[in-house]
Structure formats: C-alpha cells, structure tokens
Structure 1
C-alpha cells in the first residue's frame, strides 16, 4: 500500500490556512466532515470529505469577541445536552468554551458552560459514560489537575473529582462498561494510565512505570488508542526519542509493550509531533509525521507489531515542512490523510487505496487468502500460508511456516524464535523480507546469507529462512535486501530476548510446587515460561512479579513440554560458604554434614552442569557466596515432580528439566520440583 499525494486544500485566507494547530473529524448523516483550527486571530474551517474528489469547503468561522486573541492549540469534540460542540482551549476563560456544530456540519453559535474549578484553559479532554451519566475529564493547564465533571441533562457541569496530573493529549478506551483513560504530556515528559470509577467517573492512576521505563520514550507528544484483534492497544509518539511505542492495555490499566520503533533514514517521523491510528475492516493503519518533512504509513499485526508500508517526503508541491498535525479518515474505499505544517499553509491531502483490502486471518494448518490484499498470520503449530493474488502480508508463526505469496508485491514478516520458515516464491525486486522482530538486527551484514541452487538460506540466532526464487536459480543478498533493510529500527521490548534473565531477578521457592496458570505462582516470579508444542514451535512469555503468566493459547487442547527459566536473586543470600563446603565434601567422596546426599542435593551441587560434582563446583559456589564473578552462574531448574532421579550419583548427574503437559483452553497445571543450583539443603 502506497501513499498518494492528492493536493493541498486551503481557503485562501492566511488566518485560516496558516498555523493549523489541531484537526477533528465528525460524521453527520453518513457524511464525514473535517474541522481545522488555527491560533489567535484565526478561526475554524469545515471541509466535507468525499471519495475520489478534493474536499469541499463547507463553512468557515472566524473567532469572535474576547476569545479571538486567547485561543490555544487544541480542539476537541464533545456532546452536551444532545448538542455536538467543538471545544476550544481559551486562555482566560472561566468555563468551557466551544462552538455548536449543526447537522449539516457547519459551525453554529459560540457556547460557554458554567465556571470550572480549573478554568477554561483546557489542554486536553475526553468524554465517557458511567452509571450516573456522561462525564468530561479535563486537563487544566493552570492548576496541574485533571478534573472530572458530571454532565447534567441541561449541558451544565458538576465537578465530581480531581487528581494531580498534566496532559496535552488524552484518549479513552472502553472495556465493556468500564473505561480507561490514557494521557501524555510533553512538557512534563509523562505518560499516565487512569482507571475510571464506574459510579462517579473519577480517575485513579495505575503504576505502569516498569513497562514505560524500559521503552525510553522522551517528550511524548501524542497518544492514541485502538481496539483490534480482540485486544485494546495504546500508541505513544515520542518527539525527542523519535519513536513510536505500541502497547497492549487491559481493563485494569496495565500496559504490556509489544513494539518500539525509531525513525531511520527510510522513514519520516523524526521529532514526531502527531499520529493517527485507524481500524478499517479488521486492518489497523498508523500514520505519523513531525519535523522530518513528511509522513510514514504502518500497519499493525495481530501480535502488536508495526509493519512499515511507505513514507512520503515533502516536495515543492506539498506542505509537509515540520508536520504539526495528522488525521486520517476512512471515506469509501480510501484512507484520506490530512497533515498540517508549522511552516506551510493549508492541509496536505494524501490517500491510500483500500479498494483491494482483503482479510486478516490468524491460525495454523492451511490458511488461504483471497484475491485481495490480505494479512495472514501463522499460528502456534506448523502452518501453510497462501496469499493468492494481491499485495499480501504473510507473518511467520511459532511453528514451522511455509509461505506462498502468489502474484503481487508481498511482504514476508519473520518472527524471532520461530521454527524454520520456507518462502516458496520470492520475487526479487517485488517482494520484501521483513526481519524487524529479530533483536538488535540492523543490517543484512549481520545475517548468515548463503545462495543456493534454487534461492537462498538465511540464518540468524536460532532461526532459518529458506527462500525459493519465483524466477528459479540462486538469489543474492543484493536481490533480497537491496541496499539494506527498509523501514524503521525496532528496539527489543523484552530484554529477556537478549540473553536470558538478570541473575538478580527474584527470589524463588525451593522444593515441590504446584503450578496453575490461572493463579499466582510465587516460584515463577519474573521467570521466563516456555511451552514447546507438539507439532509446533516454542511459545515464550514472561511471568509477572506474582508468577502469573498467560501463553495466550487458542481454545482447544494442546500438548507440549512446559519449562521454566529463572535466574537467582543474589539479594536472597540463599547460597553461602557452607554450600561450598558441602559440595567440596561430596566431591572428595564424603557425605554432607547431615548425612547421605539426595539426588536433589547432587543436582544442586553440579552448578557447572557438566554431569559431575567436583572441586570446581565448590569453587564456583564459593565465588557466588562472596559476590565474585564466576563462569557458572546459579539458576533455578524445574523438574517433573514424578521424574526418576534414582540413577543420579556424584559422577552421573543426569536429568531433564521441564514436564509434559496438556493445556486445555489456555489453562496449564503441573506439579514440579524446583532446585537452586549451588544451594545444598537438607531435605
């Protein structure tokens, strides 16, 4: 999918065309209207959006009276007493100020509500409903408070609560009858998530510092939300970090990062100022722009990753110098994108043709697309993806994946940690291989690339990709990747993918444990959970601080081997010099101080995991106990509680970790034995 320049729309009035600081979309009677607002001395322009032709100017409204020189940068749509209004940020106002909107999209009369506790200088607002009616949450610039107001039947407002916080961008997303508010503020470099009291509409902040701190978002200039693929998603634009961050959001207000991309030479969102996210027929699109004189188009996968589609750079005919605002409308079979500039007048219109938009389907087995532009996502078991005619996006699953793009310009998206992938018809110069998911992969030079008689073999970390050329014969690295990878840089959002857990991650639980994926599991706190599926790939997730995990399996019954990878917390001081002494005694043929060593003792003693208990194990344990570095770091091992350990001796420490399980409707239960290597305890 490509961005197509259509033109620059303008009124011819400098006051209405220059310095457009915000835009909004509203539908009336099936027609879509675009509202653009300018600053002091300016006004509002209304454009009617129609498929296939330039927007039609519907109305203009110059600011009147005392507000003319007090207008700020934001404009938000609300409904009060059945009347649609465009609310403005007015510096010295005491109440909420806005213009009514008529059913034909035109601008009506200027309205002011009662006095507000924070005044009418509103940096951002959202509207939602609770048990008692409608609520407005307003971020007041002057007070540093976000206040909530109940909307009365006559359109007046009654304050219901207030919380410390600043925001220049706010969105709300609904989970059934519950609401969650997402806010960001560039000035204070903050991002906040608030749950909503279902009775009063009041806000309570949720601590997401761990999730947000690992992303490194600097100067968040915009947030957006979207519901797609059965999940709720939050997107954050970072101006100083030149980044777009994508996170899953649940009803409790907790965030899970899924992707974090940085601007590159191939994209146009450096100094990112604004973005727009839209869902169309099951597909999600994101458009972003800022100080890079252009805009960039992405789509989103069901797994929450951004796939780069296209960028459009400013020209002499466009108005994309230092993009200020971006907004996207779905009109007929088009995405209509409008961007304003900090230097150029008017709104630059770009379109994306959606007439061939196909299906989005995820699963395993055989998945066949249509003759349109499909997105097919491989599943947890071995999968065959067949795109058919169209510009398709085929995404590798956890299991072995065979992909056939068919005719059209296809994008083949690889997944880190997936089983082997075969692409049966790669068209050099037409198709694209997207390897964004591999951690710290920046150039094709990092890959092991081998030309073969029928295409090429690509290897990186533990993943192999076999390309079979549609034209026959070998493929060169230049034919596959051109001058290098296109699109943005993707930064890992789970540092566990970079080499395992920090040994100081958390304490553990020694001995026999029962694991239930529906409850808290203290022994699994902060551990990496793996499930190697029969006939499929390996699923990996991180348990939270309470040991709660979700492998997100589809409904049904799945068999596999369940295992846990967990580091040792040095803060627990469970390993000490006495452990080293016990291992030294075992290594010279003596018993531990309490008597015969159990099989579990011998497993714990073999910290080097070389199959024998010797003096080097004792030395490594002593080094751990005094805080020295050692090549044999302690870790937890998880064994089947019914494992036969009778054959273990000091010279034959042989065992297998993990346990065979059957998952039913995403529920996993298992009985296991946990052993901390280096910790020798009497049973």
Structure 2
C-alpha cells in the first residue's frame, strides 16, 4: 500500500488557510464533513468529503467579536443533548464555547453553555457515554484540573468530579464493562490513565508509570485509541523522542507496551505532531506526521506491532513542511488523508487505496488467504501461510513457519524466537523481508547471509530463515534487502531476555505456589514465563509486579511445558553467610544444623547446578551474600509440585524445572514449587 499525493486544497482566504491548527471529522446522514480551524483572527471552514475527489467547501465562519483574538487552534465536535457543536478553546470564556453544527454540515450560531468550573480556556475535551448518561471530560488550562461534567437534558453541564492533572490530548476507551480516559500532555511529558466510575462519573487514577517509563516517550503530542483484533489499544506520538508507541489496555486499565518505533531516514515522523488511527474492515492503519516534512503510513498487527507500509516526503507541489495536524477519513475504497502545515497554506490531500483488503487470519497448520491483500499470522505450532494474489503481509509464528506470498508485493515479517522460517517464493525487487522483531538488528551487515542454489540462508543469533527465490537461483543480500533496511527502528519493549540478561529480581515466595493466567501470582512477580506446546515454538511473557501474565495463546487446547525464569534481588538479604555454612557442612557429609536435609535443601544448596554439593557452591553463596561478583548468580527454580524428588542425594542433585500443563482457550492453571538457589534456611 502506498501514499498517493492528490492535491492541496484551500479557500483562497489567508485567514482561513494559514495556520490551520486542527481538523476534525463529523458524519451527518451518512455524509462525512471535515472542519478546519485556525487561531486568533481566523475562523472555521466546513468541507464535504467526496469519494474520489477533492473536498468541497460548504461553509465558512470567521471568528468575530470578543473571541476573535482569544480563540485557540483546536476544534472538537461534541453532542449536547442532541445538539452538535464544534467546541473551541477561548481564553477569556467562562463557559463552554462552540459553533452549532447543522445536519447539512454547515456552521451555525456561536453558543456558550453555562459556567464551567475552571473556565472556558480548555486544552482538551472528550465526550464519554456511560449507558444513557453522556459526560464531557475537560482539561482546564488555567486551573490544571481535569473535570468531568454530565450533560443534562437541556444541554447544560453539571460538574460530577474533578482531579488534578494537565492534558492537551484526551481520548476515551471502553474495555469490557470499564470506561477509561487516556490523557497526554506535551509540556510535562506525562501520560495518565483514569478509570471512570460508572455511577458517579468521577475519575480515579490508574498507575501505569512503570509501563510508560520503559518506553521513554518525550513530549507526547497526540494520543489515539482503537478497538481491534478483539483488544483495546492506545497509540501515542512523542515529539521529543521522535517516536510512536503502541500499548494494549487491559480490563483494569493497565497498559502493556507492544511496540515502540523511532523515526529514521526512511520514515517521516521526526518531531511528530499528530497521528490518526483508523480501523478499516478489521485492519488498523496508523498515519503520522510532524517536523520531518512528510507523512508515514503503518498498519498494526493483531499483536500490536507496527509494520511500515510507506512514507511520503514533501515536494514542491505538496504542502507538508512541518505538519501540524492531520485527519484520516475512510471514504469508499480509499483512505483520504488531510494534513495541515505550520508553514504552508491549505490542506494537503493524500489517498491510500483500501479497496482490496483481504482477510486477517492466525493459526497453525495451513492458513489460507484470499486473492486480495491479506494479513496471515502463524501460531505457536507449525504453520504454513498460503496467500494468493494481492499485496499480502505474512507474519511468522513461534513455531516453524512456511510462507508463500503468491503474486503481488508481499511483506514477510519475521518473529524473534521462532523456529525455522521458510519463504517459498521471494520476488527480488518486489517483496520485502521485515526483520524488525530481531533484537538490536539495525543493518544487513549484522546478518550471516549465505547464497544457496535456490535462494539464500539467513542467520542472526539463534534465528534462521530459508529464502527460496520465486525466479529460481541464488539470491544476494542486495536482492533481498536492497541498499539496507527500510523503515523505522523498533526499540524492544520486553526486556526479559534482553541479550541474555535475566529478568528483574525480587524476593519472591518460597514453596508451593498456585499459578494461573486469571489471577495474581505473587511468586511470579517480574518473572519470565515460557510455554512450549508439543510440536510448537516457545511463547514468552513477562509477569507484572502482581505476577499477572498473558501468554497470548489462541483459542483451543494446547498441551505443553510451562517454565519460569526469575532472578534474585540481593536487596531482600534472604541469602546469608549462614546459608554458605550449611552448604559447607553438607559438602563434607554432615547434616545442616537443623537436621537431615530435605530434597528441597539439596536443590537450594547446588547453586551452580552441576548436580553435586561441594565447596564451590558454598563459595558462590557467600559471594552472593556479601554482594561480590560470582559466575553462579542466585536465581529461582520452579518445579512440578508433584515431582518425585525422593532419590536425591548430595552427590546426585537431579531434577527438571517446569511442569506439564494444558492450556484451554489461553487459560493455564497449575501448581509448582519455587526454590531460591542459595537460600537453605527458608526451605
């Protein structure tokens, strides 16, 4: 899919064409209208969006009277008891100020609704529906408060709650039965999430600090939300970090990062100022623009990762110098993108054809596509992805994956940690190999690339890709990658296996523990959970501070092995010199000071896991206790709670970690025994 420049449209009136700060869409009677807003001394223009053509100006309104030099650049459509308005930011107002929007898209009279606690100088507003109740959540710039107002039957507003906070972008998102607000503020580089009390409308803060902090988002200028692929997603643009981040929102409002991309020479979202997210027939597209003089187009996978589709750089004909705002409308068989510039007058119109969108499917075995533009994803088991004609996206699963793209410009997306991936029909110069999921991979020069009689074999760390040429014969690196990788840099959002480093440590819980994907699991706090289905590839997830984790398994029944990796926090001081003393006693055939050693004591004593208890174990435990470096760091091991350990001795410490489980529709429940290697006293 490509971005096609169409034209620059304008009214021919400088006050309405220059300095456009906001654009917004509203649909009346099946017709989509766009409203562009300029700042002080400007006004509002109403445009009718036309399929296959330029938008048509249907109305104009200059700011007049007391608001002319006090109005900001934002314009947000809301509905107040059935009356539609375009809400403005007016510095000196005491109430909510906006123009009425008529059913034919034209602009009506200027109105002010009551008196707002905090005044009419608003930096952001979003409308929320709670059943039959309609609410407005408004960020007040003068008071640094985010207030919630209920909309009364006559269109007036009543304050229902107030909370300290700043925001220049607000969005609302429903997850299950819960309704949430996501707020971003560029000046303070803050992103906050609030739950909405369904009875009172009062906001409560949800702590997502850890999730946001790992991404390093600086100056968030835009936040968008979308419900797609059976999940709820938050997408954030960071101007200071030149980034776009994707996060999954859970039923409790908690955010889990799924992707974080940085602008490169191949993309056009440096100093990103605005973005738009749209769901088209089950496929999600993300459009972004900013200080990089252009527009970038992504699609989002069901796992919440961004795949770069195209970037359009400003030309002498287009007006994309320092993009300020953009809007995307789905009209007929195309996306129409309208972008306004800080430097150029008018609106630049680009289009993307979406008339040939095909199916989105994920699974194991044979996964077949259509003759259109499909998105096919492999599973944790072996998969064969069979796309037909069209520009397809094929995404490797965790298990061994075979991909056939058919004709068309296909994108083959690799997955880190997967088993062997085979591409059967790579068309050099047409198809693209996307390896963004591979850790720290930035250049083809980092790969082990070997031409073969049928194509090429590519290796990176423990990953292997067999590429078979559609034309037959060998493939060179230039055939596959051209002059280099094309697209943004993807920064890892999961650090559990970052370059072989262990997950974050914690004191944990020792002994028998219950483990479930549906509850808190204190023993698993910050641990790495690995599930390997029979005949499939390993799926890895990281538990949060409460031990909650989601393996992201598809529906169905999968038997396999569950294992847990978790390091030790020395701050807990659970391992002491006394533990080393006990191991010294055991190494020479003596019992610990409390009596005969249980099998769990033997496992804990063998910190270097060589199968015997000796003085080297005691030395390593002493090094851990006093904080000295050691080649055998303390860690937790998790065993089957029913494992037979009766035959274990100090010279035969033999055991297996992990437990056999059956996952049913993504739910895993089991019992395990957790043992901290090096910590004998608590066993």
Could you say which TM-score interval applies, normalised by the shorter chain? over 0.9
* C-alpha displacement of 1:555: 2.8
Structure 2 residue aligned with 1:55: 55
Greater Cα offset, 127-136 or 330-339: 127-136
**TM-score normalized by the length of structure 1:** 0.98
Aligned-partner Cα distance in 2 for 1:239–1:126:
22
Task: Summarize the alignment of residues 461-610 of structure 1 with structure 2, pairs less than 5 Å apart.
Answer: 461-499=461-499, 505-610=505-610
Task: Summarize the alignment of residues 642-653 of structure 1 with structure 2, pairs less than 5 Å apart.
Answer: 642-653=642-653
* C-alpha displacement of 1:48: 1.1
State the SS of the aligned residue for 1:115: coil
Structure 2 residue aligned with 1:406: 406
Structure 1 residue aligned with 2:92: 92
State the SS of the aligned residue for 1:380: coil
The answer to whether residue 238 in structure 2 is matched with residue 238 in structure 1 is yes
Structure 2 residue aligned with 1:292: 292
Greater Cα offset, 561-570 or 543-552: 543-552
The answer to whether residue 664 in structure 2 is matched with residue 664 in structure 1 is yes
* C-alpha displacement of 1:31: 1.1
Q: Write out per-residue CA displacement over residues 552-587 of structure 1, whole angstroms, 9 at most, x where no aligned residue.
A: 323322100111111112122121111112222222
Structure 1 residue aligned with 2:223: 223
Structure 2 residue aligned with 1:23: 23
* C-alpha displacement of 1:174: 2.0
* C-alpha displacement of 1:641: 2.3
What residue ranges of structure 1 are gaps of 5+ in the alignment?
Answer: none
Aligned-partner Cα distance in 2 for 1:151–1:26:
20
Structure 2 residue aligned with 1:32: 32
Structure 2 residue aligned with 1:612: 612
Aligned-partner Cα distance in 2 for 1:193–1:63:
34
Aligned-partner Cα distance in 2 for 1:660–1:557:
13
Greater Cα offset, 307-316 or 439-448: 439-448
State the SS of the aligned residue for 2:96: strand
Aligned-partner Cα distance in 2 for 1:566–1:176:
32
* C-alpha displacement of 1:499: 4.1
Aligned-partner Cα distance in 1 for 2:591–2:180:
60
Aligned-partner Cα distance in 2 for 1:310–1:587:
64
The answer to whether residue 270 in structure 2 is matched with residue 275 in structure 1 is no
State the SS of the aligned residue for 1:656: coil
Q: Write out per-residue CA displacement over residues 83-137 of structure 1, whole angstroms, 9 at most, x where no aligned residue.
A: 1110111111111111111111111111111111111111110111225621111
* C-alpha displacement of 1:146: 0.8
Aligned-partner Cα distance in 1 for 2:502–2:535:
31
Aligned-partner Cα distance in 1 for 2:679–2:194:
43
Q: Write out per-residue CA displacement over residues 6-28 of structure 1, whole angstroms, 9 at most, x where no aligned residue.
A: 00000111001000000000111
State the SS of the aligned residue for 1:379: coil
Aligned-partner Cα distance in 2 for 1:610–1:178:
51
Q: CA RMSD in A?
A: 1.5
* C-alpha displacement of 1:357: 1.2
Is the Cα–Cα contact under 8 Å of residues 175 and 249 in structure 2 kept in the other structure? no
Is the Cα–Cα contact under 8 Å of residues 507 and 574 in structure 2 kept in the other structure? no
- Rate the CA distance shift 1:176–1:608 in 2: closer, same or farther, 3 A: closer
* C-alpha displacement of 1:478: 1.5
Task: Summarize the alignment of residues 327-338 of structure 1 with structure 2, pairs less than 5 Å apart.
Answer: 327-338=327-338
Is the Cα–Cα contact under 8 Å of residues 383 and 397 in structure 1 kept in the other structure? yes
**TM-score normalized by the length of structure 2:** 0.98
Is the Cα–Cα contact under 8 Å of residues 28 and 103 in structure 2 kept in the other structure? yes
What residue ranges of structure 2 are gaps of 5+ in the alignment?
Answer: none
Task: Summarize the alignment of residues 119-198 of structure 1 with structure 2, pairs less than 5 Å apart.
Answer: 119-130=119-130, 133-198=133-198
Task: Summarize the alignment of residues 329-478 of structure 1 with structure 2, pairs less than 5 Å apart.
Answer: 329-478=329-478
Aligned-partner Cα distance in 2 for 1:161–1:453:
69
Q: Write out per-residue CA displacement over residues 427-468 of structure 1, whole angstroms, 9 at most, x where no aligned residue.
A: 111111111111211111222222222111112232211111
State the SS of the aligned residue for 2:292: coil
* C-alpha displacement of 1:317: 0.4
Q: Write out per-residue CA displacement over residues 53-95 of structure 1, whole angstroms, 9 at most, x where no aligned residue.
A: 1111111111121111111121100011211110111111111
How many equivalent residue pairs? 683
* C-alpha displacement of 1:602: 2.3
State the SS of the aligned residue for 2:381: strand
* C-alpha displacement of 1:263: 0.3
State the SS of the aligned residue for 1:593: coil
Aligned-partner Cα distance in 1 for 2:605–2:453:
51
Greater Cα offset, 174-183 or 426-435: 174-183
* C-alpha displacement of 1:180: 0.7
Is the Cα–Cα contact under 8 Å of residues 98 and 111 in structure 2 kept in the other structure? yes
Greater Cα offset, 666-675 or 276-285: 666-675
* C-alpha displacement of 1:425: 0.6
Q: Write out per-residue CA displacement over residues 515-548 of structure 1, whole angstroms, 9 at most, x where no aligned residue.
A: 2332222221221111110121111111222222
Aligned-partner Cα distance in 2 for 1:136–1:623:
59
Aligned-partner Cα distance in 2 for 1:48–1:352:
19
Is the Cα–Cα contact under 8 Å of residues 504 and 570 in structure 1 kept in the other structure? no
- Rate the CA distance shift 1:617–1:272 in 2: closer, same or farther, 3 A: same
State the SS of the aligned residue for 1:318: coil
Greater Cα offset, 486-495 or 458-467: 458-467
Greater Cα offset, 488-497 or 509-518: 509-518
Q: Write out per-residue CA displacement over residues 634-679 of structure 1, whole angstroms, 9 at most, x where no aligned residue.
A: 1111112232334433333322111111122323222322221111
Q: Write out per-residue CA displacement over residues 145-164 of structure 1, whole angstroms, 9 at most, x where no aligned residue.
A: 11111111111111111111
State the SS of the aligned residue for 2:480: helix
Is the Cα–Cα contact under 8 Å of residues 504 and 527 in structure 2 kept in the other structure? no
Is the Cα–Cα contact under 8 Å of residues 132 and 200 in structure 1 kept in the other structure? no
* C-alpha displacement of 1:190: 0.9
Structure 2 residue aligned with 1:326: 326
